[in-house]
A and B are shown apart, each in its own frame.
Chain A
Amino acid sequence: MADRPLVLGIETSCDETGVGIVRGETLLVDAIASSVDEHARFGGVVPEVASRAHLEAMIPTIERACTTAGVSLREVDAVAVTSGPGLAGALMVGVAAAKSLAVGLGVPLFGVNHLASHVAVDIVEHGPLPEPTMALLVSGGHSSLLLVPDVTNEISSLGSTIDDAAGEAFDKVARVLGLPFPGGPHIDRAAREGQVTIDFPRGLTTGRDLERHRFDFSFSGLKTAVARWVELRQRAGEPVPVADVAASFQEAVVDVLTRKAVAACRAEGVGHLQIGGGVAANSRLRALAQERCDAAGVELRVPRPGLCTDNGAMVAALGAQMVLRGRTPSDLGLSADSSMPVTEISA
Chain B
Amino acid sequence: MLALDTSTSAITVAVHDGEQVLAERSVLDARAHTEHLAPLVQDALESAGLRPADLTDIAVGVGPGPFTGLRVGLVTARVLAYTVGVPCHGVVSLDALAEEAVRSGSVDGTAEFAVATDARRKEVYWSRYTVTAGHPARLSDPAVLHPADVADGMRGLATAGRGPLLYPDVFASPVTPLDVSAVALAEVALRQIAHGVEVGVDALYLRRPDAQPTSSSKSTLTEVRGDRR
Give A contacts to B, CB under 8 Å.
39, 42-49, 51-52, 54-55, 58-59, 62-63, 73, 87-89, 92-93, 95-97, 99-106, 140, 164, 168, 171-172, 175-176, 178, 223-224, 227, 230-231, 234-235, 332-336
Contacts and interface: CB of A to CB of B under 8 A. Distances in A.
A147 to B, nearest CB: 28
13 contacts: A46-B210, A55-B75, A59-B78, A89-B71, A92-B72, A99-B38, A100-B38, A164-B217, A175-B225, A223-B220, A224-B220, A234-B224, A332-B38
Q: Which 7 A-B pairs have the closest CB atoms?
A: A44-B213, A104-B83, A48-B209, A44-B215, A99-B38, A100-B79, A100-B80
A140 B92 CA distance: 38
A52 B209 contact: yes
A332 B39 contact: yes
Interface stretch (B29-37, B96-104, B155-163): B29-37
Contact of B72 (A42, A96, A168): A96
B209 A49 contact: yes
Nearest to A231: B224
Contacts of A58: 75, 78-79
Interface in B52-76: 52, 67-68, 71-72, 74-76
Contacts of A44: 213-216
Nearest to A14: B214
Nearest to A10: B79
A44 B216 CA distance: 7
B224 A51 contact: no
Contacts of B215: 43-45, 140, 168, 171-172
Contacts of B76: 96-97, 99-100
A93 B83 contact: no
A62 B82 contact: yes
A48 B210 contact: yes
A100 B164 CA distance: 34
A92 B69 CA distance: 9
Nearest to B221: A227
B42 to A, nearest CB: 5
Contacts of A43: 213, 215-216
A43 B219 CA distance: 13
B19 interface: no
Nearest to A58: B75
B86 to A, nearest CB: 10
A93 B71 contact: yes
B80 to A, nearest CB: 4
Contacts of A55: 71, 74-75, 203
A54 B71 CA distance: 10
Contacts of A224: 220-221
A178 B228 contact: yes
B209 to A, nearest CB: 4
Contacts of A106: 51-52
B83 A175 contact: no
A224 B217 CA distance: 13
B20 interface: no
Contacts of A49: 209, 211
Contacts of B80: 100, 103-104
Contacts of A178: 228
Contacts of B42: 103, 332
B79 A234 contact: no
B81 to A, nearest CB: 9
B152 interface: no
A15 to B, nearest CB: 10
B140 interface: no
B141 interface: no
Of A55, A73, A234, most buried by chain B (CB within 10 Å of CB) is: A55
A43 B213 CA distance: 7
Given A96-B34, A96-B79, A104-B84, 5 more contacts: A44-B213, A54-B71, A102-B38, A140-B215, A227-B220
Contacts of A102: 38
A164 B217 CA distance: 9
B212 interface: yes
B205 interface: yes
Contacts of A100: 38, 41, 75-77, 79-80, 83
Interface in B81-127: 82-84
A105 B33 CA distance: 21
Contact of B213 (A46, A51, A99): A46
A92 B79 contact: no
Contacts of B77: 100
B149 interface: no
A230 B225 CA distance: 11
B136 to A, nearest CB: 28
Contacts of A88: 68
A215 B45 CA distance: 51
Interface in B179-229: 203, 205, 209-217, 219-221, 223-225, 227-228
A73 B221 contact: no
A120 B186 CA distance: 43
